[in-house]
Amino acid sequence: MLQWATHVDDRDIRFEVRRALLARLARLNGAAASEFFETLATFERLPALSATIAAEWAASEPAAAVGWFKRRATNGVDAETATALGGALAGQSLEMIRALAGSIEAGEARYALCDAVVQRWKHERALDAANLAIATVSGEACASLLGAVLPEWARSDLVSAVEWAKQLPDGAHKLTALIHLSYPWVEANVSGVAEFAQALPPGNEQFVAVTVDRWAQSDPRAAADWAVRLPDGPVRDRAIASLTNAWTRRDPLAAADFALGLHTGPGRQEAIVSVVSGWAAHDPRAAGNWVENFPTGETRSYGIGNVADTWMRTDPVAAMAWVQRLPAGSDRDTALHASAGCLLELHPDLAATVAAAISDETLRNAQTERAIAAWMAVDRTAAMTWIADSSLSSALKRQFLTPRS
């Protein structure tokens, strides 16, 4: 019958007949169905046909069907077949799916099969889906699968999802799971999250930071009160930086006052840096006015450079006017250096002009060389004309204008 189907003239009818016959054969003898599929011309080995075979075969011989999928995946994973196979296997036990997935070499094929099963399980069998993810894949693949199942699980049973994550061994899987659950958990029980986060061992700074960020979106002052009471160290510093970043998006003036009111130390500097970065992205003029009031030092220099860089990307005319208004010397040089750096890729001609205005000779020469090199790569003639007419030192002019042998 399958051979007869090859002689049907109408292509669509031939395909439907062939798929129906292959489905029936695969239910009876999956190996025979797969062997016939391999005899087809390359252009006829359609994903819909292999998906049909895999799904029907898996109903009676799941290991054999997975083995065939694994062999075919050596030439690239067929997502349609993986989805069909995963759907057919979804009624099996977690232990069987783990064993079947484990028989496939770690990589795209294993992930595709697990993803297909997780998509089927994430509503009704969320616990199994989460356990399958951490048992079979790792790294970004695991994070992706947990990202598919945990939000769904949290919507239906947040308490169970959180308890499951808490009991995981300390490490990457636990951290990933907690981060995926942090948003609904903070919304439902922020005090419980805060208590749990405070007791976590080192290595979980990212979860603490995410928690504070999400808390600050609804109640930044409460989040701030909690963050400042954390013990001195990397966890506290990361939490405060995350808090000020989120708070700046909501109320930059309040975030700025909070950052300036912190005790001197790494946490205060990180908070100020966080405010500057976030504020400059939304209102560079206000951020610039704020950093101009800082005392001379590393934080002031960073703030001026950050504002100049961010502002130059969105409104170079206004940014340059602000830079020129800064006091001559280190402040203006810092802003000019940052501005030239952000212009290098798209506007190397402007970067060269800006860099040439830096007063510090060492800084000016280094940034001007970078700008000219970038400019010459796209328009050597224009760059050389500018160099010849510029006020650059004779040494720099010779460096770029002397013909190379």
Per-residue model confidence as pLDDT tens digits over 178-225: 999 998 999 899 989 988 988 888 888 888 998 999 999 889 999 999
Show me where the domains of the chain are located.
1-73, 116-199, 202-281, 283-405
- Read off the pLDDT of residues 226-282 as tens digits, 9 standing for 90 and up: 999 888 888 888 899 999 999 999 999 999 999 989 987 888 888 888 899 899 999
Question: What is residue 19's predicted lDDT score, i.e. its pLDDT?
Answer: 85
Please tell me the predicted confidence (pLDDT) of residue 44: 83
Model confidence at 4: pLDDT above 80:
no
- Region 68-92: what's the mean pLDDT? 90
Contacts of residue 149, Cβ cutoff 8 Å, sequence gap at least 6:
118, 121, 122, 126, 129, 130, 133
pLDDT at 138: 92
Four-residue CA torsion sign, 315, 320, 326, 329: positive
The DSSP code for 137 is -
pLDDT band at 40; cut points 50, 70, 90: confident
Tokens of 12: 């669509």
Average pLDDT over residues 105-111: 92
Average pLDDT of 328-354? 93
The pLDDT mean for the chain works out to 90
Which DSSP state fits 404? P
Closest to 112 measured CA to CA, from 134, 83, 151, 72: 83
pLDDT of residue 366: 92
Q: What percent of the chain has pLDDT over 70?
A: 96
- 10: its two tokens: 């109408």
Asked whether the predicted pLDDT for residue 129 surpasses 60, the reply is: yes
Tokens 């930059």 found at: 252
pLDDT at 14: 63
pLDDT at residue 2 tops 60: no
Which DSSP letter does residue 201 get? P
